Chains A and B, each alone.
Chain A
Amino acid sequence: MEKDHNVSRRQFLTYALLGTGGFMAAGVIMPMVRFGVDPILQADAEDDMVDVAAVDDLTDVPQAFDMEYEQDHGWHVEQVTETVWIHMEGDEVVALSPTCTHLGCTVNWGTDPDNPEQFFCPCHFGRFERDGTNVQGTPPTEPLHRYEHEVRDGRVFLGTNPSPQI
């Protein structure tokens, strides 16, 4: 009757040991693999763009909009508010940084009575055209930096890092 078992005692012990051993090994190895491939599993960083304005609100005259987003410094998250000058150039949205490329003052649109159709920096009278190009003969040596943009469902989304225009 004893011989009717189709698993011997020895086989049973082997299976049991292999089974629990396997589980334990997997428990150790899996997290290691997980750490190794972590960057691949991260959600795409593409959605770092911030909703700033409605396309319908834009005109061909630059207007100041506030851009609010959270900046992650690793351990703490900082709430940042930046101002962006946005206007339409034909069908194209143009979003410019208000930081003067000379020494970093804040530029405004049309505040110089002699040049109402330009950006004006109050510090050293730097001027920029509507598209951000620096006016020759004023201190700035490069155009205003420009934000990456995307239009989704009638809203303008901007990247958070303005980059130089060449």
Chain B
Amino acid sequence: MQWQTADIDTYQQSQSYVDTALIPLLSVSLGEEMKSAVAMGEYISLISMEMEKQFRGRVLQLPPLVYPQNESQETLLQHVDAWADELKSNGKNHIIWVTADPSWKKVENDLPGLLLWLPHLPIEHMDKKLQQKTLNDQMKEILPQVMKEWQQEKGL
């Protein structure tokens, strides 16, 4: 389900079925790496939309966690933990973080929930058909990872 009033009504009626939050992690930079930050952000947004479509009955897609590129790892982890507490106290057993930022890979074990780190594909240069196909292929790899996360009854 999306972070939209129309979907939130459905969410509130069927809360017990929706036990997973999906949060994109996006780094922002206006310096040299601006272009790659934008491309990554675009790619991760498309992937999250696709995941929301596939899993909309069990996953609530939240607004992305956006941070400046030079933010320290420590501060970020604190912030992430605060999200996790909020979600846990509202009965969400699973969190899926989606990102293309490689720095998260290093702290994967400290992150509550499942980290889906996806290498950025230059999807913005593709035509619509190829774009959809690439996303579908990517989804085929994501599906078993999410299923595995759901098999651990107590995710958080």
Among residues 60 to 90 in chain A, which have CB atoms less than 8 Å away from a CB atom of chain B?
66, 79, 81
Q: Is the CB–CB distance between A103 and B132 below 8 Å?
A: no
Q: Is the CB–CB distance between A105 and B143 below 8 Å?
A: no
A144 beta carbon closer than 8 Å to chain B: no
- Interface size for chain B: under 10, 10 to 19, 20 to 34, or 35 or more residues? 10 to 19
Q: Is the CB–CB distance between B54 and A105 below 8 Å?
A: yes
A123 to B147, CA, bound (A): 8
Q: Is the CB–CB distance between A122 and B56 below 8 Å?
A: no
A127 to B121, CA, bound (A): 34
B-chain residues with CB within 8 Å of residue A79 when the two chains form the complex: 128
Q: Is the CB–CB distance between A106 and B17 below 8 Å?
A: no
A156 beta carbon closer than 8 Å to chain B: no
> Which among A100, A103, A139 has the highest number of chain B CB atoms within 10 Å?
A103
**A136-161 vs B, Cβ < 8 Å mask (1 yes, 0 no):** 00010000000000000000000000
Q: Is the CB–CB distance between B58 and A105 below 8 Å?
A: yes
The DSSP consensus for interface residues of chain B is: helix
Q: Is the CB–CB distance between B55 and A105 below 8 Å?
A: yes
Given contacts A103-B14, A103-B17, contact A123 B53 (CB under 8 A): no
Among residues 91 to 125 in chain A, which have CB atoms less than 8 Å away from a CB atom of chain B?
100, 102-106, 111, 121-124
Q: Is the CB–CB distance between A106 and B58 below 8 Å?
A: no
A81 to B50, CA, bound (A): 12
Q: Is the CB–CB distance between B55 and A123 below 8 Å?
A: yes
- B58 — nearest CB in chain A belongs to which residue? A123
A81 to B150, CA, bound (A): 29
A-chain residues with CB within 8 Å of residue B10 when the two chains form the complex: 103
Return the 10 tightest CB-CB contacts between A and B, nearest first.
A103-B57, A123-B58, A105-B57, A123-B57, A106-B54, A104-B56, A104-B57, A105-B55, A123-B55, A105-B56
* B residues with CB within 8 A of A: 10, 14, 17-18, 53-59, 128, 132, 143, 146-147, 150
